[in-house]
């Protein structure tokens, strides 16, 4: 059976000594958001997670099993070459190859210089990837046929790089489905965390965007428009992570947290009411002197 899309996490513990030394593998949350969003729109979608795979042979087996029309690979800078290696394998299996995530957002040219990559999706990915899959249904057209669709980059008929403007950010994050954690082997992640760190942690995203605009990071994937989920939706997700996976800690993977002290206070209050309290770690803007989050966290 040929599925619509295979989403790929190119981080292989088996091939990455630095990650093996840490042994704190994080689920590919961006892909799990994309997976949930596509599934909700009735696309047939699977995830190939390199984390516990033996090597490229497992990726090839996934391509042969699923015969995906589109392969979508997520990329950060240190994985760039690995992403291109997997893209070439996917291309040999006749897939339309899309690359997305932080590094293709910064450097679409690095990926599109390689003929194995058909398309870059830059910035927030849910709406753009769904629209790409929709537009390509029933056809084998080249990437440039997608024309002026926002949020993409491709090579035109003459091989020149075209980067379309980004798509507007999603304003109401509560409209997004919960990340499809069932699409990866969560039990294995938790087992590794417990064995190597003595506790089990899973990641969660509470907000998107960061208003600070530090020079080296000014064009972050989720932009400068800070958007935050409702306290209720976050508490419901944490409660389900606690109940289903029995985790000990949370890693909040937002660009920046603690901007809105009232939101943090409300989160703490509702979490206590709903028995959804867990220790967490998060990123905070380094020059801010007020740290309301730490007081509240300590009081839990
Ligand atoms: C949390 C975090 C971590 C955590 C957890 C990472 C993880 N694997 O979950 C830890 C601490 C482990 C970490 C490690 C590293 N990180 Co980090 N991290 C982040 C942070 C703050 C949030 C990432 C996140 O989960 N966001 C939430 C999810 C929902 O968003 P997302 O992943 O971006 O996915 C969306 C879009 O990007 C897009 N998308 C993503 N993939 C794909 C794929 C396709 C096909 C499509 C269509 C779309 C798409 O759609 C998604 C939904 O909208 C970002 C900052 C940022 N703004 O991106 C830095 C960031 C990604 N990290 C960065 C770096 C450099 C690293 C390290 C290399 C650091 C180091 N030197 O070791 C390592 C690499 C780890 C690895 N092996 O991959 C850089 C990457 C820069 C670059 N040019 O690539 C960033 C952007 C920080 C920065 N501003 O410099 N990181
Ligand atoms: S505070 Fe962090 S996420 Fe925000 S712009 Fe600066 S480095 Fe980027």
User: Which residue(s) pair with 251 in the sheet?
Assistant: 203, 281
Pick the closest to residue 33 from 100, 116, 117 (CA basis). Answer: 100
User: Which residue(s) pair with 46 in the sheet?
Assistant: 6
Q: How far is the CA of 98 from the centre of ligand 1 (A)?
A: 17
Cβ atoms of 36 and 179 within 8 Å: the answer is yes
Best probe residue, ligand 2, of 207, 217, 227 (max atoms within 8 Å of C-beta): 217
Q: Is the CB of 87 under 6 A from ligand 1?
A: no
The pTM of the full predicted model, rounded to 2 decimals, is 0.96
Cβ atoms of 104 and 120 within 8 Å: the answer is yes
For 274, list phi and psi in degrees, rounded to 5.
Answer: -95, 10
- Tens digits of residue pLDDT in 144-153: 999 999 999 9
Pick the closest to residue 98 from 193, 5, 206, 2 (CA basis). Answer: 5
- Tens digits of residue pLDDT in 6-44: 999 999 999 999 889 889 999 999 999 999 999 999 999
């Amino acid at each position: 059976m040929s599925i619509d899309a295979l989403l790929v996490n190119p981080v292989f513990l088996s091939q990455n000594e630095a990650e093996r030394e840490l042994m704190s593998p994080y689920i590919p949350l961006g892909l799990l958001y994309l997976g949930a969003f596509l599934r909700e729109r009735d696309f047939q979608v699977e995830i190939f997670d390199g984390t516990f795979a033996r090597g490229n042979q497992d990726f090839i087996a996934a391509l042969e099993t699923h015969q995906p029309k589109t392969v979508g690979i997520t990329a950060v800078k240190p994985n760039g070459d690995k992403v291109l290696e997997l893209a070439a394998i996917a291309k040999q299996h006749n897939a339309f190859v899309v690359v997305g995530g932080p590094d293709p957002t910064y450097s679409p040219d690095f990926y599109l210089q390689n003929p194995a990559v058909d398309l870059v999706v830059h910035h927030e990915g849910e709406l753009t990837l769904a629209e790409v899959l929709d537009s390509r249904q029933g056809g084998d057209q080249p990437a440039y046929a997608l024309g002026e669709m926002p949020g993409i980059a491709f090579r035109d008929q003459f091989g020149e790089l075209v980067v379309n403007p980004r798509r507007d950010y999603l304003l109401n994050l509560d409209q997004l489905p919960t990340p499809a954690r069932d699409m990866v082997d969560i039990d294995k992640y938790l087992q590794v965390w417990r064995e190597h760190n003595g506790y089990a942690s899973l990641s969660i995203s509470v907000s998107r965007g960061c208003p600070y605009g530090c020079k080296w990071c000014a064009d972050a994937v989720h932009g400068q428009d800070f958007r935050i989920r409702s306290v209720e939706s976050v508490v419901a997700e944490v409660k389900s992570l606690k109940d289903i996976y029995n985790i000990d800690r949370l890693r909040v993977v937002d660009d920046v947290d603690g901007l809105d002290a009232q939101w943090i206070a409300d989160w703490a209050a509702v979490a206590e009411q709903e028995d959804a309290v867990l220790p967490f770690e998060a990123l905070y803007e380094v020059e801010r002197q007020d740290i309301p989050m730490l007081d509240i966290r300590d009081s839990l």
